[in-house]
Structure 1
Amino acid sequence: MKKLDKLILGSFIGPFLLTFIVVDFILLTVNMLKYFDEIFGKGLSFWIYAELIGYFVISISPMALPLAVLLSSLMTFGNLGEHFELTAIKSSGISLLRALRPIGVFVIILSFAAYLSNNYLVPKVNLKTFSLLYDIRMKSPALEIKAGVFYAGIPGYSIKVNEKIGEHGLKDIIIYSHAGGSSGNLNMTLADSGRMEPFFNENYMKLSLFHGTNYSEERQTRGIKEKPVEFNRTSFDTNEIVFDLNNTFKLNRTAEEAWSTNRSIKNISEIKLGLDSINTLLNDKIYQNYQSTESIYPFFTRDRKLSPPVDIKERKALDDSIRRVKLERKQTSTDSLENIRSQAKKDTSVVLADHPESRLLINAAKDSAISSLSSSQKSSKSTGRDSLIATSAGKKQIDNKSKKEDDQDTVKNAKLKTVLKQPRTTPLTDKERKQIDSLVENRGYTRQSVTIALSNSRSLKNNFSIRKTEIDNYKRDYRRFQIAWYQKYTQAFACFAMFLIGAPLGAIIKKGGLGMPVLVSIIFFIIYYMLTITGEKWAKEGIADPLFGTWFSILCLLPFGLFFVKQARKDARLFEPDFYLSLWKSVQDRFKVLRSKAN
């Protein structure tokens, strides 16, 4: 590495680390403010909050890297231009692109590292972040009773203290007990003073009450006419109540498998599997819609078939074949297990048969089975003879009746066939038409047909709308998985795009420090952030392709970067008023020439 590369790279790494820490801290503060009321004030240890903040820092780093690269590259080349070091580099015959090469190589390596982090590290950190954040949000607030305010943090109790004395002393205590699921203020305790102290590693809380009264009343169940309910009043000098704080005020960690379906905790291979499964569900739903729609319209589809498209059929056949293979594998596995069990049973039976005591048991079982079979056969023979003799006469009578009924049916069928073979050729008479019209009008067939048609159309409309929403939901999930897949690449490539904007822009501005570079970098980062949100929204709603939506911000900013590189190579003064004055004068001169030619 040459001295020039060391100089430029050394002047870049320091501002990069500083700006990355600052930007990460700012983004961390913005994200933590969303959950500030839900995670703080719950009496958790410092290490729980440190763990959560560490997870947030890692998960926010993909967003902080592009802004850090933009700001640090702009500051680096701004400082070089301000101190005329960049001018000396150019005067020695070194081009601007050669001066950009060491930082460009570093940014390319950084982009590759950002891709690896987005694909492997950030999904695991997001899983732990979601799990810990959910557990903290579900935890009850810390036990902190304030004077003059009812405290309902302990399940089943509502406590009010008029005055707190020291760390554990209480005065003028009112307690309403709702233990056992009872509603209403039927159990109340009043005490002059008391003490509340934790014990057993703060898993339990003991409330000692002094000089008080306990009031309890039964609930009235029927009405006014029933007898008055029982009312008890008990006075005490000392009363102790123990509260179990283990399940209420301790942090219970949720299993991480509960978040396994979230796309933000998956890497690229897992996202591809999710896309394939969603595509299978979507294809099955569309195929079922085609199959069911053909049976819905029997009038229009009786002469033709409503077949799904070819790609839907091919995907359905592929999915069915995969399911078939999986079922065959399961069956073979179950058959192998059954064979192993049957072989084990055979082996145990052989071993038992060799034992002399087992041989006696087997012979005894055989003798008992033979005796039971012989007795059953004898009884069946004796009962069979009697039943045959008794039912023979009844069978003859039943056969005679069935023959007569068959003869009558054949005669009727022959008459019907003769009538049907001679169709009517004469038209309907006026009397017959009036009878048919009266049947239609009097019995309300027209009205019934209209109501049935309306109900059928409404049910069909509801069914189609439900199916349409299901298909739209599947498509939206598919697009979101695609966006999560492409974001792994765009967030990494954004570092290089911001370098193309920041480095030549710093060479043009020629001002370092935290003044103009910070302002310009914030403006471009806001533009990048707005374009990213807009493109992702278009992709989620299906307005644009997910690939185009995720790359939309970079495609919009790359021309700016290339334009700034071109202007920096020409030493353009884009941020000086003389440049625009000279540009305006050239435009005016051009118009004068055109007018003179026209005249």
Structure 2
Amino acid sequence: MKIIDRYILTSFLKTFFPLFIIIMFILLLQTIWLFISELAGKDLDFSVIMKFLTFATPRLIPMVLPLTILLTSIMVFGNFSENYEFAAMKSSGISLQRAMRMLTGFMILVGLGAFWFSNTIIPESEKRFINLRKNIVKVKPAMVITPNQFNDLGDINIRVSDKHGDNDQFLTDVIIHKKSVRPGNYTVIKAVEGELQGSKDSDLITLVLKDGNYYEDIQENKPNSKKKLPFVKTHFKQYVLNIDLSEIGNVDMDAQQYSKGHNMLNVAELKEEIDTISSTYNLKRKSLHTEVDVIIGAEGLNKNIKIDTLQASNDTLNLEKYFTARQKVEISNNAISSVDVVLRKITSSKKSLTFKKRALNKYEMSLHDKYALGIACVLLFFVGAPLGAIIRKGGLGLPIVVGVVLFLVYHFIGIFAKNGAEEDGIPPFLGSWLATFVVFPLSIFLTYRATRDRGFFNFDFITVPIRNFFVKRFSKKKK
């Protein structure tokens, strides 16, 4: 390694690591702010909080690493230009490409390391992060109950519209589904309000419901009785439920129950999951097509008949004289019923297919994101280094502003593309790579301008003719 290469690499690393730590610290504080409701007021051990922060850190790398590379490149090469170090290099016969050669090799290694990190460390940390969050939620029952959604609490599923009080113990508009050995919801309890009562020394918590109704489906063994759908309904002024919290109190924070999320899998597992979801999705579409054909009677049609073999006739076929009024009503009712069944079938299947397609798009984008991260790190270096040489300004002022603006544009393009791909507006491949495709021509353009000592834009072809025109004009007036 030559002295100039060692000097450029050392200058880059001296800026890279402090900047990386600062940006990571800022985004980690933002993460704590987002999840503060899951950590505060639960008497968690310090080790659990440290695990939470440790598992949350790797998921920030896809944002921190590209931003750090972009800002470091602009600052370092801008500082070289501002201190006339590039001028000294050029006078010694060292071009910008030669100065960037060592860092280019280093960026390629960083890109490969980013792919390895996103393929091994991030899925494992994401898996542990999600499971730790799920386990933390189980520590306090009052914190488990989130308004306007069903929550699993002991042997019941509970939904409330709102909760209030010093410890969120007062509940309003309570709906409860009691669990049973048989699959299904057979017992439903609805109440206007409720209150959680309990003590720290007891594993039981009392839920007092006021002014509500108790519904229970009766399971009959006889087929004729089942068709009547019998049930029991009781109105109550006060109803008391005792909930066992012994399992909630003994929560294993290291338990791993969730492992199939699109962010929790590596490349091999993602490819396997994509094949599975894609096969299920195609099978459901084919099944829907077949069922609709059966309902409308398309399967019974003779599809071998050719239109050209039919004899043309000017006479219209009048079917009214072949059917009575009663038969016409029956035919119309049957047609309406068939259309209604088809529409219901398509509507219900559309929701399931949309959900499957959205999940498939997420898995495909997660696969491409692992490759796009390493490529983006290299391309952003070729954006930041030439840009720093062009603006000829180092330090924490203008380079930070320019770098942050460029990264926000890159990041927002990626967000909008992924949202569009998730809703099947654009292909998932394009959703992951669109921001990188935008950066690629920009990196070529800036490198080309910087290696030829030109500014970001050259407006001489516009300004020079205008200036010459006015110079000639005023010189003629003086004469």
| TM-score, scaled to structure 2 | 0.71
Q: How many Å apart are 1:248 and its aligned residue?
A: 5.5
Distance in 2 (alpha carbons) for counterparts of 1:544 and 1:455: 37
**Alpha-carbon distance change, 19 to 142 in structure 1, aligned in 2, over 3 angstroms:** farther
Counterpart in the other structure of 1:191: none
Distance in 1 (alpha carbons) for counterparts of 2:373 and 2:196: 51
Counterpart in the other structure of 1:363: none
Counterpart in the other structure of 2:82: 82
Counterpart in the other structure of 2:146: none
* Contact 2:71 2:400 (C-alpha < 8 Å) held by counterparts: yes
Which one has a bigger Cα radius of gyration? 1
Counterpart in the other structure of 1:277: 276
Distance in 1 (alpha carbons) for counterparts of 2:349 and 2:141: 44
Q: How many Å apart are 1:547 and its aligned residue?
A: 1.6
Distance in 2 (alpha carbons) for counterparts of 1:488 and 1:507: 30
Q: What is the correspondence of 1:298-447 to structure 2 with a 5 Å cutoff? A: 298=297, 301-304=300-303, 440-441=324-325, 444-447=326-329
Aligned to 2:89, what secondary structure does the other structure show? helix
- Give the partner amino acid of 1:585: T
Q: How many Å apart are 1:30 and its aligned residue?
A: 2.1
Counterpart in the other structure of 2:423: 541
Deviations 1:495-530 (A, max 9, x none): 111101111111112211111111011001100101
Counterpart in the other structure of 2:9: 9
Q: Which ranges of structure 2 fall in alignment gaps of 5 or more residues? A: 144-164, 171-193, 212-233, 237-243, 306-319, 471-479
Distance in 1 (alpha carbons) for counterparts of 2:439 and 2:46: 42
Distance in 2 (alpha carbons) for counterparts of 1:142 and 1:472: 34
Counterpart in the other structure of 1:509: 391
Counterpart in the other structure of 1:318: none
Distance in 2 (alpha carbons) for counterparts of 1:41 and 1:261: 30
Work out which of the residue numbers 488, 494, 507 in structure 1 matches 2:370.
488
**Alpha-carbon distance change, 445 to 501 in structure 1, aligned in 2, over 3 angstroms:** same
Q: How many Å apart are 1:552 and its aligned residue?
A: 0.6
Q: What is the correspondence of 1:71-110 to structure 2 with a 5 Å cutoff? A: 71-110=71-110
Q: How many Å apart are 1:486 and its aligned residue?
A: 0.2
More helix by share: 1
2:394 is the counterpart of 1:473: no
**Alpha-carbon distance change, 183 to 540 in structure 1, aligned in 2, over 3 angstroms:** closer
Counterpart in the other structure of 1:413: none
**Which piece of structure 1 moves more, 471-480 or 498-507?**
471-480
**Alpha-carbon distance change, 439 to 77 in structure 1, aligned in 2, over 3 angstroms:** closer
**Alpha-carbon distance change, 439 to 23 in structure 1, aligned in 2, over 3 angstroms:** closer
- Give the partner amino acid of 1:53: L
Counterpart in the other structure of 2:112: 112
Q: How many Å apart are 1:541 and its aligned residue?
A: 2.1
Q: What is the correspondence of 1:136-285 to structure 2 with a 5 Å cutoff? A: 136-140=136-140, 151=167, 158=197, 183=209, 251-253=251-253, 255-256=255-256, 258-285=257-284
Q: How many Å apart are 1:551 and its aligned residue?
A: 1.0
Counterpart in the other structure of 2:330: 448
Identity %: 28
- Give the partner amino acid of 1:263: H
Aligned to 1:263, what secondary structure does the other structure show? coil
Q: How many Å apart are 1:446 and its aligned residue?
A: 2.4
Counterpart in the other structure of 1:170: none
Aligned to 2:94, what secondary structure does the other structure show? coil
Aligned to 2:263, what secondary structure does the other structure show? helix
**Alpha-carbon distance change, 479 to 40 in structure 1, aligned in 2, over 3 angstroms:** same
Counterpart in the other structure of 1:560: 442
**Alpha-carbon distance change, 87 to 491 in structure 1, aligned in 2, over 3 angstroms:** same
Q: How many Å apart are 1:283 and its aligned residue?
A: 2.5
Q: How many Å apart are 1:36 and its aligned residue?
A: 1.4
Deviations 1:441-487 (A, max 9, x none): 4xx33223222221211111111232333333332222221101000
Counterpart in the other structure of 2:69: 69
- Give the partner amino acid of 2:89: I
* Contact 1:70 1:521 (C-alpha < 8 Å) held by counterparts: yes
Q: How many Å apart are 1:440 and its aligned residue?
A: 3.0
Counterpart in the other structure of 1:586: 464
* Contact 2:139 2:251 (C-alpha < 8 Å) held by counterparts: yes
* Contact 1:151 1:159 (C-alpha < 8 Å) held by counterparts: no
Distance in 2 (alpha carbons) for counterparts of 1:496 and 1:140: 46
Q: Number of residue pairs matched?
A: 381
Counterpart in the other structure of 1:126: 126
* Contact 2:20 2:68 (C-alpha < 8 Å) held by counterparts: yes
Q: How many Å apart are 1:489 and its aligned residue?
A: 0.6
Distance in 2 (alpha carbons) for counterparts of 1:466 and 1:157: 38
Q: Which ranges of structure 1 fall in alignment gaps of 5 or more residues? A: 144-148, 161-177, 186-220, 224-243, 307-435, 593-599
Distance in 2 (alpha carbons) for counterparts of 1:43 and 1:77: 49
* Contact 2:274 2:360 (C-alpha < 8 Å) held by counterparts: yes
Q: How many Å apart are 1:156 and its aligned residue?
A: 7.8
Counterpart in the other structure of 2:57: 57
Distance in 1 (alpha carbons) for counterparts of 2:430 and 2:329: 55
Deviations 1:174-221 (A, max 9, x none): xxxx96655469xxxxxxxxxxxxxxxxxxxxxxxxxxxxxxxxxxx9
Q: How many Å apart are 1:105 and its aligned residue?
A: 0.9
* Contact 2:196 2:206 (C-alpha < 8 Å) held by counterparts: no
**Alpha-carbon distance change, 299 to 139 in structure 1, aligned in 2, over 3 angstroms:** closer
* Contact 2:361 2:422 (C-alpha < 8 Å) held by counterparts: yes
| TM-score, scaled to structure 1 | 0.58
Q: How many Å apart are 1:139 and its aligned residue?
A: 2.3
- Give the partner amino acid of 1:451: N
* Contact 2:138 2:248 (C-alpha < 8 Å) held by counterparts: no
Distance in 1 (alpha carbons) for counterparts of 2:321 and 2:409: 75
* Contact 2:197 2:205 (C-alpha < 8 Å) held by counterparts: no
Superposed CA RMSD in Å reads 3.5
- Give the partner amino acid of 1:514: L
- Give the partner amino acid of 2:259: S
2:74 is the counterpart of 1:38: no
